[in-house]
């Protein structure tokens, strides 16, 4: 429970698809394989949030929630399904190339890259509970999109929301 609570109160997310990578390269680059489950959340062996999609296409609740939250808070700038836009990068690609903790840092505190070749400004979202209470959900959704394990559109099947996730969500939103 404590790990999940700490992770849920963490920050930032970015995701993407890297066409042409082999499965073993994705495992190394994207750190995607779930090693354990805790209260409905899946984690890698390095304790990084990840997704779990069953053979029949059923997604874990956090991935489904991430789809919903991404489309509520992030898609206006970053495009549908993390595909990017003329205004902001494809998060489904960024999340595969960015360390989880760097992602949290960027989402929480924002970032500016303004120079002769780029003009990129990500606002800080660390005080937005609609982002921060669901940051790991957004992260795993984008990760699943980036690896190509999750296609475009609303996932057709999802696991039920666990009581632990419901409690964490209520506690976070009550702050």
Beta strands, E only, the chain: 36-38, 41-43, 49-50, 111-114, 119-122
DSSP string, 22-90: -HHHHHHHH-----EEETTEEE-TTS-EE--B-TTSPBPHHHHHHHHHHHHHTHHHH-GGG---SSS--
**Tokens at residue 175, please?**
């702050």
**Tokens at residue 76, please?**
């206006």
Integer Cα distance of 77 and 13 in angstroms: 14
pLDDT of 103 over the 60 cut: yes
Phi-psi domain of 113 (left: phi exceeds 0; alpha: psi -120 through 50; beta: other): beta
Residue with tokens 């190339």: 97
Q: What is the set of domains in the chain, with CATH numbers?
A: 2-150 (1.10.760)
pLDDT tens digit string along 15-69?
Answer: 333 444 444 444 444 468 899 999 999 999 999 999 999 999 999 999 999 999 9
Q: What is the pLDDT of residue 7?
A: 37
Integer Cα distance of 17 and 121 in angstroms: 22
Edge-to-edge, what's the strand order for the sheet holding 36-38? 36-38, 41-43, 49-50
pLDDT of 86 over the 80 cut: no
Backbone angles phi, psi at 18, to 5 degrees: -115, 90
Measured in whole angstroms, the distance separating CA 84 from the mean position of its chain's CA atoms is: 15
Query: Model confidence at 88, in pLDDT bands (50, 70, 90)?
Result: confident
pLDDT averaged over the chain? Answer: 79
Q: Which of 46-55, 110-119, 159-168 has the lowest mean pLDDT?
A: 110-119
Note whether 96 and 146 are within 8 A (CB): yes
Of all residues in the chain, the percent with pLDDT exceeding 90 is: 43
């Amino acid at each position: 429970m404590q790990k999940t609570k700490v992770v849920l109160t963490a920050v930032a997310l970015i995701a993407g698809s890297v066409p042409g990578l082999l499965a073993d390269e994705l495992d190394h680059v994207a750190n995607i394989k779930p090693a354990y489950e805790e209260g409905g959340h899946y984690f890698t062996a390095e304790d990084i949030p990840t997704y779990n999609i069953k053979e029949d296409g059923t997604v874990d609740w956090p991935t489904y929630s991430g789809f919903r939250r991404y489309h509520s808070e992030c898609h206006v700038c970053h495009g549908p399904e993390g595909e990017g836009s003329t205004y902001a990068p494809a998060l489904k690609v960024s999340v595969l190339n960015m360390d989880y903790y760097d992602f949290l840092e960027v989402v929480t505190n924002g970032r500016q890259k303004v120079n002769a070749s780029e003009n990129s400004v990500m606002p800080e979202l660390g005080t937005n509970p609609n982002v921060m209470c669901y940051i790991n959900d957004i992260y795993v959704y984008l990760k699943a999109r980036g690896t190509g394990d999750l296609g475009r559109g609303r996932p057709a099947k999802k696991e039920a929301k666990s009581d632990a996730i419901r409690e964490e969500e209520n506690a976070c939103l009550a702050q």
